[in-house]
Amino acid sequence: MKLDDSSVPANPSPKTPVLAVAAAVACIIGVVGIWYLRPDAPQVLPAPGLSAPVDAAGLQSQGFPVTVAVLSAVYEAFALTDEAAIYDGLATVAAGGALESLYLERAGALATGGLPDQVVHELSLTEGAWRLADNRMTADIRWAVLGEVGHAEHTHMRGNAYGAELTIAPADGAWRLVEFELTDVDRTEAGTLTTFADDAASESAQE
């Protein structure tokens, strides 16, 4: 029996391999597209005053203790007189513009004698509102401080109240204070107790 040459294709169709390759390519493109479009994983970083790293939502939920820890560290650094120690102390909670401005404020005042020695005995955060935007936490706060200010010959026990807006954001591998704007200073209810070095006299007054 003689085969009909017309029933045998001269060049077998490669459709099946081509379709398989196209399907594989489409699958790869889809996987890559999903990878690029996936939501960014939240940053989990150490934060002042917290024992474990947190993401932005965790930072906001712990805004009160974080803010207290930041303020406490700033006051502790401001109580120092060595410029390197002041900078290192501030750098534990601040970075960028906030670190620079706070350091220059304290170091400049020490250089010109513009600020007295100070020791904080009590810090109370009295009001606060914390909000998140663009992976940054902004805190509108008020706090009160009771402490000693003065020089060798005499000291004053003084209480002041302040208002400020703080911004805490990722910096140097941690949550750090990156912006600081003092909005209010209230001394109307500040009591003052003056004690002289020789204990010869003391007085109390209301500012």
- Residues 73-85: pLDDT tens digits? 999 999 888 999 9
Q: Looking at the domain assignment, is residue 50 inside a domain?
A: no
Report, in angstroms and rounded to the nearest whole number, the Rg of the chain calculated over CA atoms.
Answer: 32
Whether 42 maps to a domain, the answer reads no
What is the rounded distance in angstroms from the CA atom of residue 77 to the CA atom of residue 149?
15
Q: What is residue 197's DSSP assignment?
A: T
Please provide the size of the chain in residues.
207
Contact 115, 122 (CB under 8 A): no
CA angle 124, 92, 75 (to 5 degrees): 35
Domain residues for 16?
A: 5-37
In this predicted model, what pLDDT tens digit does every residue of 149-201 receive, in sequence order? 665 566 666 788 999 999 999 999 999 999 999 999 987 655 544 444 444 44
- The tally of domains found in the chain comes to 2
Pick from 109, 93, 108, 120: nearest CA to 175: 93
Q: Whole-model pTM? A: 0.70
The answer as to whether 93 is a domain residue is yes
Lowest mean pLDDT among 14-28, 44-58, 126-140: 14-28
**In a shared domain, residues 9 and 91:** no
CB-count burial class (<10 Å; 0-12, 13-18, 19+) for 165 = middle
Q: Is residue 66 domain-resident?
A: yes
- Cα–Cα distances (Å) from 103 to 76, 88, 145, in that order, read 12, 10, 20
